[in-house]
Amino acid sequence: MISEAERLDKLDKIVEELIERSPSEPIIVEGSRDVKALREIGVVGIVKTVNTGTGIINFCEALSAEHDSFIILTDWDRKGGQIAHHLQIGFESVDAKYDTQIRARVAMLVKKEIKDVESLPSYLERLRESVLMKAPNDRRNRYHRGKD
């Protein structure tokens, strides 16, 4: 079992990766609350919701006309898994590249605590607070992301 500090470090690296990749690789999420959550943790790049009413194949076709690759970040509950699977099929049908590894890594780190993207900001904040309380004074600044 990994420590909270290690979990926080891994999640922070994933968030940094999303921030770096999202300007050129759209992040696909389920709904508007997921978009809001990603914005709250610092993702300013392209985030698209799959719930557009057009169907997954049409959604994938339209996006692949604008971009070459995508990050699938649906929730890690059963429904999110089904949507991720359908997105994979849709992107494969239009020969687009997609990444589901970030979703898998996040799920592995948080699955026992939260089940969806929209819960990430509050989970990260709770985790930071917990790590901060346990960290020696000389390491507290490393984990502190306060609102100055």
Residue pLDDT, tens place only, 110-147: 988 999 999 999 999 999 999 988 876 545 455 555 54
At 119, which amino acid appears?
A: S
Q: How many residues does the chain have?
A: 148
Flag the least confident range among 8-17, 44-53, 96-105, 110-119.
Answer: 44-53
Q: Which fold has domain 4-143?
A: Dna Topoisomerase Vi A Subunit; Chain: A, domain 2 (3.40.1360)
Task: Measure the CA angle with vertex 133, ends 132 and 136; round to 5°.
Answer: 75
Compute the average pLDDT of residues 15-23: 96
Domain boundary assignment for the chain? 4-143
Amino acid 137: pLDDT: 58
**Whole-angstrom distance, CA of residue 51 vs CA of residue 30:** 6
Instruction: For residues 26-48, give the mean pLDDT.
Output: 97
Q: Residue 9 pLDDT > 90, yes or no?
A: yes
Q: What's the pLDDT at 112?
A: 87
Record the pTM: 0.88
Please answer whether residues 90 and 62 qualify as being in contact, where contact means their C-beta atoms are separated by less than 8 angstroms. Answer: no
How confident is the model at residue 71, as a pLDDT? 98
Q: What is the dihedral of CA 133, 5, 9, 33, to 10 degrees?
A: -60
pLDDT tens, position by position, 42-84: 999 999 999 767 889 899 999 999 999 999 999 999 999 999 9
Reading the block at residue 134, the tokens are 């346990």
Q: Is the pLDDT of residue 14 over 70?
A: yes
